[in-house]
Amino acid sequence: MNPWHAHYDQGVPKEAPKARPLPELLRENAARYPKKVALEFLGRSLTYEALWREAEAFAKGLQEAGLPRGARVAIMLPNSPQFVIAFYGALLGGYVAVNTNPMYTPRELRHQLLDSGAEALVILDQLLPRYQEIALEAPLKLLVRTGIQDYLPFPKNLLYPFLQKRKGAWPKTLMGVPWRAFLRPGRPSPVALDLDDLALLQYTGGTTGVAKGAMLTHRNLASNALQVRAWIPDFREGEEVVLGAIPFFHVYGMTVAMNLALLGGAKLVLLPRPEIGPIVEAIEKHKVTLFPGVPTLYVAFNNFPGIEGRNLRSVRACISGSAPLPLEVAERFEKLTGAKLVEGYGLTEASPVTHCNPLYGKRKLGSVGLPFPGVEAKVVDEEGKEVPFGEVGELIVKGPNVMKGYWNRPDETSRALKDGWLFTGDLARMDEEGYFYIVDRKKDMIIAGGYNIYPREVEEVLYQHPAVQEAAVVGVPDPYRGETVAAFLVLKPEYQGKVTEKDLEAFCRENLAAYKVPRIIRFRESLPKSSVGKVLKRELTKEVGARG
């Protein structure tokens, strides 16, 4: 038995739950909970029965448009009913979804459409100018346009386009098939889905180069959503209310919010943007029970004006991913809500979650927890040999949620996957009880004067200072040390102008070895972040370079 199994919460299985293709699982819940609300969106609800009918209509629309089985269908939408319908409808029809970030520039969109070979694109009407700019370079067989107004209640559905036009946020020319005209009521032609069929191309963030399409199968996606559900030992089938605030076009939001909710018969409360005001209101109004997020969201939540007076006690469990979760952030959140907030770990190539701290059992400071049911994990040296407990090496993982490979990139695939093991590129260590600690990304590690410095360790110390709201640490070139440590900080409003860079440096000297202390400390109003709330450290590194 693996050492981590002894520390699972009671009721969590040791093996991964048996998976079936996602559309089959949604069809079952439409039969089991036909009149129960599946989606709640800005004042309008869709039942499980209605959601399934619309997914069928979308699948039928794709089939009648003449798309061959396996064709790639790009989805460029915020969290909305249309995203859910297009995703499940594409899979039901035998197609491959391609998650497309609505914040993409025309250049990024062009790369993804051409790289994936997408034949169809479902796009928000307000984003049409981005595609129009590259339409000749990336032609499609099918373009479907939709808008927020398509699922707003009356009279908001009529007012919304009018208000957008007044703001100048409406495209001058419309192209493509309107959403409502595209849906074809009735059942699509049946397609036999195999668990190892490709379901999704999920493009990596490009932190290590050009964005690559991770090939995720029906088995990968269904397994990981069911693993998340199994990790919550008191998950109440058909009764949970899940907040869908983190973007679904990122596989973390897709798995731990969208798929978890719909495979568990939950109500999914959709927010088109992860803004903290609407999040707090949604939790109060809909009595949200599960709130998956990222550390920056929980930081914003903790510092939201008047948060202590809000009724937030419905929240029971939260899994934080995408970036390290500082202990101080988790403790304050738990005090405000009474919920359990635990840090997990994953990566796009694993659909994405591989590790998580137990919700009710032992949590360890700085640890990303234990491998999920059915996931194998170990820490290896440069030659691929397992290292002893406590030693740092590369984390590798294996399980039903690990991708098939990278789309059209056999060389990259062979480097990342070896005998079914995914080499994560993350430096980690494991203790004797099977808890894993991410030390840092191989590429993020700072080497200063021959010493290895892990940004996460420095960030953890900075978060312990009462003035620090957000912290990001990067390595920057240094003519003498090779690299040196730079810290970018957002101060809490009440400390702005009262705490200096010298104060923070002195605090670090008390808590870190001299070589780890930041030599550059900069205060900012905010940190640059990706659409899923991950701090863009590359931008900070460039900023130091530009300013010398």
Closest of 373, 358, 367, 361 to residue 2, by C-alpha = 373
- Judge whether 315 lies within some domain: no
> How big is the chain, counted in residues?
548
Backbone angles phi, psi at 194, to 5 degrees: -105, 145
Name the residue range of residue 511's domain.
444-547
Rg from Cα positions in the chain: 23
Largest CA distance in the chain: 70
Q: What is the pLDDT of residue 159?
A: 81
Tell me the HSE value of 301 on the side-chain side, using a 13 A CA sphere: 29
Q: In which element (H, E) is residue 510 found?
A: helix 501-511
pTM of the predicted model over 0.75: yes
202 bridge partner residues: 214
Q: State how far the Cα of 445 lies from the Cα of 427, in Å rounded to an integer.
A: 9
Q: If DSSP codes are grouped into helix, strand and coil, which group holds residue 107?
A: helix
Q: What is the pLDDT of residue 443?
A: 65
Please report, as a single letter, which amino acid is at residue 476.
V
Helices (DSSP H) in 349-449: which residue ranges?
410-416
Please report, as a single letter, which amino acid is at residue 37.
V
Closest of 439, 422, 331, 428 to residue 379, by C-alpha = 428
CB 322 within 8 A of CB 368: no
Tokens of 127: 């984003």
- Strands (E) in 399-467, as ranges, are 405-406, 417-418, 421-430, 436-441, 446-448, 451-453
- Judge whether 377 lies within some domain: no
Q: State how far the Cα of 319 lies from the Cα of 322, in Å rounded to an integer.
A: 10
Q: Please state the separation of Cα 266 from the chain's center in Å.
A: 19
Tokens of 229: 């559900």
Q: pLDDT tens digits, residue range 447-476? A: 776 666 878 888 988 999 999 999 999 998
Tokens of 151: 């699922």
Contacts of 178 (CB under 8 A, 6+ apart): 144, 145, 146
Q: What is the CATH number of the domain that holds 534?
A: 3.30.300.30
Q: What is the pLDDT of residue 207?
A: 39
Helices (DSSP H) in 203-250: which residue ranges?
218-231
- Judge whether 494 lies within some domain: yes
97 bridge partner residues: 73, 200
Q: What is the pLDDT of residue 256?
A: 97
Peptide bond into 155 cis (omega under 30): yes
Contacts of 384 (CB under 8 A, 6+ apart): 418
CB 160 within 8 A of CB 152: yes
Q: What is the pLDDT of residue 533?
A: 81
Contacts of 12 (CB under 8 A, 6+ apart): 230, 231, 233, 358, 373
Residue 548 to residues 445, 471, 545, Cα–Cα distance (Å): 21, 20, 5
Q: What is the pLDDT of residue 341?
A: 96
The DSSP-derived string for 271-318 is -SS--HHHHHHHHHHHT--B--B-HHHHHHHHTSTTGGGS--TT--EE
What is the DSSP-derived secondary structure letter of residue 172? S
Q: What is the pLDDT of residue 206?
A: 47
Burial 141-159 (b: 16+ CB within 10 A, else e): ebbbbbbbbbbbeeeeeee
- Judge whether 491 lies within some domain: yes
Q: What share of the chain is helix, strand, coil (3-state, %, to 5)?
A: 35, 25, 40
- Judge whether 535 lies within some domain: yes
Q: State how far the Cα of 280 lies from the Cα of 139, in Å rounded to an integer.
A: 42
Please report, as a single letter, which amino acid is at residue 333.
F
Q: Would you tell me how many other CB atoms lie within 10 Å of the CB of residue 283? A: 24
- Judge whether 37 lies within some domain: no
Per-residue pLDDT of the chain (548 residues; tens, 9 = 90+): 799 999 999 999 999 999 999 999 999 999 999 999 999 999 999 999 999 999 999 999 999 999 999 999 999 999 999 999 999 999 999 999 999 989 888 888 998 999 999 999 999 999 999 999 999 999 999 999 999 999 998 888 778 776 777 777 677 788 999 999 999 999 999 999 999 999 999 998 543 446 799 999 999 999 999 999 999 999 999 999 999 999 999 999 999 999 999 999 999 999 999 899 999 999 999 999 999 998 889 989 999 999 999 999 999 999 998 777 888 889 999 999 999 999 999 999 999 999 999 999 999 988 999 999 999 999 999 899 999 999 999 999 999 999 999 999 999 999 999 999 999 989 999 999 999 998 876 667 787 766 668 788 889 889 999 999 999 999 988 876 778 899 999 999 999 999 999 999 999 988 887 888 999 999 999 999 887 788 888 889 888 765 55
CB 307 within 8 A of CB 331: no
Tokens of 350: 């694993």
Q: If DSSP codes are grouped into helix, strand and coil, which group holds residue 171?
A: coil
Closest of 126, 48, 111 to residue 85, by C-alpha = 48
- β pairing state of 451-453 and 446-448: antiparallel
Q: What is the pLDDT of residue 171?
A: 79
Angle at CA of residue 121, ends 118 and 126, nearest 5°? 145
Residue 275 to residues 60, 270, 282, 524, 531, Cα–Cα distance (Å): 35, 12, 11, 20, 11
Peptide bond into 278 cis (omega under 30): no
Number of domains in the chain: 1
Please report, as a single letter, which amino acid is at residue 153.
P
- Judge whether 164 lies within some domain: no
CB 463 within 8 A of CB 492: no
- Judge whether 478 lies within some domain: yes
Closest of 259, 233, 226, 248 to residue 316, by C-alpha = 233
Residue the block writes with tokens 């595609």: 131
Q: What is the pLDDT of residue 514?
A: 82
Helices (DSSP H) in 295-403: which residue ranges?
295-302, 327-337
